């Protein structure tokens, strides 16, 4: 039996329908502006997020980096949540490539407090760094796919606006937040200056992330993407997968959420584990020894990721059905001796 892979929602393989869309994609040289499928995807994502333009990137990390570079200058600061992806998982890209210092603020379960953000924004004057940017993440990966409620995002945006600080939304899993809450994507999009969304996670594409930007930032973002080596050629083959996924794989995200809840429920009451109640498709299990439990699960054909020494992450996605959840629940019960 092939292993059940719950390490991430990035492990999905393109479906037959998606492969068919890829095979039929009309393409051209996108660096020359000639790829009609890329243009169609960029227009579609801009429309969904209520922005003037969107750019296709090879990865979310490159799209986040482009946004951070676009909003800052060397020797300035960006504020981000303590366990944000841009802080913990992007290898200091903003510092390395942009000379930007990240000032972190501890959130409550990943949720930033507007007053704490206000306090982290530097006072004007020649003696402090200039705060240029606030980065927010929705859903919050390390907090277990936690949704940043729209009201909270609004409050954070208002604080940033008081100080002329731009807001970048790392929405790698914004699709999940929108599917779980029913809040339209444009509502989230209007509360940030730039928005990154990922095609290669819950939506099930092989490659690709998008950065949605206002018209005033489009040329700068395109130039930065090129500088980072993110300009691509016949990338319509990737864009075709993205268009297909936006059409066919967005509504089904609520199925992933229901399966994550089912898995969490199955773990409830097992000895030695505390479950972080999932709001979307990420189940975080607090355990005394996460690596040992992950190894024992692996022996039973269930792959999870060791998020921290005491935290195991299991993510539901397109390639996990009800049978997969049942299999994972059985393996966990065996390993934890419930
Ligand atoms: C995965 C992820 C990214 C980066 O996306 P890649 O495509 O893997 O580079 C950025 N932010 C968050 C919150 C993520 O989960």
Which tokens hold the place of 199? 């095609």
**Interval between CA 116 and ligand 1 midpoint (Å):** 25
Give the Å distance between the CA of 309 and the centre of ligand 1.
21
Q: What tokens appear for 147 in the block?
A: 């949704």
Percent of the chain with pLDDT over 70: 100
Tokens 């790829």 label which residue? 35
Paired with 213 in beta bridges are 53
| Residue 139 CA, closest ligand 1 atom number | 13
Q: Whose CA is nearest to atom 14 of ligand 1?
A: 172
Cβ neighbours of residue 119 closer than 8 Å, sequence gap 6 or more: none
Indicate if the pLDDT at residue 183 is higher than 90: yes
Q: What is the mean pLDDT of residues 258-267?
A: 97
Instruction: List pLDDT tens digits, range 283-330.
Output: 999 999 999 999 999 999 999 999 999 999 999 999 999 999 999 999
Indicate if the pLDDT at residue 232 is higher than 80.
Answer: yes
**CA distance readout (Å), 13 to 5, 57, 300, 308, 319:** 11, 19, 22, 27, 8
Residue nearest to atom 5 of ligand 1 (CA): 60
For ligand 1, say whether the CB of 60 is within 6 Å of any of its atoms. yes
Confidence check: pLDDT of 32 > 90: yes
pLDDT in tens, 65-95: 999 999 999 999 999 999 999 999 999 999 9
Query: By three-state DSSP, how is residue 198 classified?
Result: strand
Q: How far apart are CA 262 and CA 157, in angstroms?
A: 34
In the prediction, which pLDDT does 1 show?
A: 79
Any atom of ligand 1 within 6 Å of the Cβ of 198: yes
Region 141-159 average pLDDT: 98
CA-based max dimension of the chain: 64
Mean pLDDT of the chain: 97
With vertex at residue 23, the alpha carbon angle to CA 17 and CA 25, rounded to the nearest 5 degrees, is: 100
Does the reported pTM lie above 0.95?
yes
Mean pLDDT within 84-113: 98
Q: Is the CB of 146 under 6 A from ligand 1?
A: no
Mean pLDDT of all residues in 88-112: 97
Q: What is residue 329's predicted lDDT score, i.e. its pLDDT?
A: 96
3-class SS of residue 29: coil
- Centre of ligand 1 to C-alpha 63, Å, is 9
Question: What pLDDT sits at residue 42?
Answer: 98
Q: Does the pLDDT value for residue 338 go beyond 80?
A: no
Q: What is the pLDDT of residues 40-63, one digit of tens each?
A: 999 999 999 999 999 999 999 999
Q: Does residue 139 line the site of ligand 1, with CB under 6 A?
A: no
Percent of the chain with pLDDT over 90: 98
Residue of minimum CA distance from atom 8 in ligand 1: 60
Q: How far is the CA of 61 from the centre of ligand 1 (A)?
A: 6
Does residue 220 contact residue 70 with C-beta atoms inside 8 Å? yes
pLDDT digits (tens, 9 = 90+) for 194-227: 999 999 999 999 999 999 999 999 999 999 999 9
pLDDT value of position 337: 85
pLDDT digits (tens, 9 = 90+) for 166-175: 999 999 999 9
């Amino acid at each position: 039996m092939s292993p059940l892979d719950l390490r991430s929602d990035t492990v999905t393989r393109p479906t037959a329908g998606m492969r068919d869309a890829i095979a039929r994609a009309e393409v051209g040289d996108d660096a020359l502006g000639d790829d009609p499928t890329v243009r169609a995807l960029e227009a579609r994502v801009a429309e969904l997020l209520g922005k003037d333009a969107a750019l296709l990137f090879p990865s979310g990390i490159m799209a986040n980096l482009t946004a951070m570079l676009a909003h800052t200058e060397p020797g300035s600061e960006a504020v981000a949540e303590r366990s944000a992806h841009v802080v913990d998982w992007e290898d200091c890209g903003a510092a390395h490539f942009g000379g930007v210092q990240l000032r972190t603020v501890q959130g409550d379960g990943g949720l930033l407090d507007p007053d704490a953000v206000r306090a982290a924004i530097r006072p004007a004057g020649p003696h402090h760094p200039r705060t240029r940017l606030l980065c927010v993440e929705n859903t919050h990966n390390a907090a277990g796919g936690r949704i940043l409620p729209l009201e909270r995002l609004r409050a954070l945006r208002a604080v940033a606006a008081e100080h002329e600080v731009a807001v970048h939304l790392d929405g790698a899993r914004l699709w999940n937040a929108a599917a779980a809450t029913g809040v339209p994507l444009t509502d989230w999009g209007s509360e940030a200056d730039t928005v990154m969304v990922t095609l290669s996670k819950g939506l099930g594409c092989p490659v690709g992330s998008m950065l949605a930007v206002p018209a005033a930032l489009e040329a700068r973002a395109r130039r930065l993407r090129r500088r980072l080596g993110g300009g691509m050629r016949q990338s319509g083959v990737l864009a075709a997968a993205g268009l297909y996924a936006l059409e066919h794989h967005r509504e089904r995200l609520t199925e992933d959420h229901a399966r994550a809840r089912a898995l969490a429920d199955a773990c409830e009451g097992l000895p030695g584990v505390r479950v972080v109640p999932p709001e979307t498709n990420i189940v975080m299990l607090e355990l005394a020894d996460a690596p040992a439990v992950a190894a024992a699960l692996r022996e039973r054909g269930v792959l999870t990721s060791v998020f921290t020494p005491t935290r195991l992450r299991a993510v539901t996605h397109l390639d996990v059905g009800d049978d997969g959840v049942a299999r994972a629940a059985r393996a966990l019960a065996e390993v934890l001796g419930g």
